[in-house]
Amino acid sequence: MSFALVFSGQGMQHPAMLPWLAPDSALVRLTCARLGVEDWRNALEDAGWAASNRHAQCLLTGLGLAAWQQLAADLPPPTAIAGYSVGELAAFSAAGVFDAATALDLARDRAEAMDRCAADTPGGLLAVSGLTMPVLDQLCHQTGVAVAIRNGVDSAVIGGPHAALARAESQALQQNAHCTRLKVHVASHTLWMQAAANSFAQTLAALPLQRPRSVLFSNAVDRVLDATQAKAALAAQIAQTVRWDECMDNLAARGVGCVLEVGPGQALARIWNQRYPDIPARACDDFRSDAAVVAWVHSQL
């Protein structure tokens, strides 16, 4: 048996997440230094700070990698790796495409590029469940938003300018959908982020990325085989629909026995368990100790 490793995106960050994460690891300290805070948990108590795109992307990238470093010594290498939205930065780093410090640099540059787009067209994201994709596609067309993330047959995230997103939410609720506004202030993975994708592509072009050491799947180009594909994938997903449903199918096709989600909340584990009930998934946020995480993975191998 083997396992897949997936890294969460932003929107679920909270002060109590990853309760077992060592506060004094080198990577946690580096992440706090990049953010200019002494204690990231205290910083997350401020809802405005926590929702900042610049803060969240850097924090989740650094903490995701710190958590994985803490676990990796006691686990076999994962069979395959993927990341959800900004979680791709941690995933690509865990796969050996670039080191953790570079991942933090890229998180900063990615967030800044997206914030510049949002300054021109303020927007956000809305999680919607209970509508089939054809119905949701029609709703998006009628209200002027776009599908940002595909999670399943009746679960997705839509994005767009605030007024259009409000229209979409109202119409979705009228159709008995369940809607949740995400804690982001940009219309990630939609056409409104194209300038950010172009800017990030220029940033990536200057970096000497490496070929993945692990099987790595992306939100935009399926499996990533080399540095050229890695650069294209990381830039493209900023302004294109995240095909998380296809990422999950790719991971399952590797014959994994379980899935471990690293990051805040349990969203990816929950989506996975709905799609693949015979292949268990758990989130690191479920556990009170790193030993318990390791024990669960080993129990599935």
The residue whose two tokens read 């940033």 is 203
CA dist list (Å): 214 to 92, 176, 237, 247, 284:
9, 42, 20, 15, 21
DSSP 74: T
DSSP track, 207-234: S-----SSEEE-SSSSB--SHHHHHHHH
- Alpha-carbon distance of 85 to 261, in angstroms, equals 14
Q: Is 2 exposed, middle or buried (0-12, 13-18, 19+ CB in 10 A)?
A: middle
Q: Any residues with CB less than 8 A from the CB of 112 and at least 6 apart, and which?
A: 54
Q: Is 270 exposed, middle or buried (0-12, 13-18, 19+ CB in 10 A)?
A: middle
Give me the residue spans of the domains in the chain.
3-119+190-300, 123-181
CA dist list (Å): 251 to 92, 107, 111, 246, 272:
15, 24, 27, 9, 10
pTM above 0.75, yes or no: yes
- Alpha-carbon distance of 34 to 24, in angstroms, equals 15
Q: What fold, for 3-119+190-300?
A: Malonyl-Coenzyme A Acyl Carrier Protein; domain 2 (3.40.366)
pLDDT value at position 183? 79
pLDDT value at position 94? 98
What superfamily would CATH give domain 123-181? Malonyl-CoA ACP transacylase, ACP-binding (3.30.70.250)
**Splitting the chain (301 residues) into consecutive groups of 10 residues, what average pLDDT does each group show?**
93 92 96 97 94 94 98 96 97 98 98 94 94 95 96 93 96 96 90 97 96 95 94 97 96 97 95 96 96 97 86
Q: Which of 1, 72, 4, 39 is nearest to 249 (CA)?
A: 4
Contact in structure between 236 and 141 (CB atoms under 8 Å):
no
Cα dihedral sign for 276, 242, 187, 104? positive
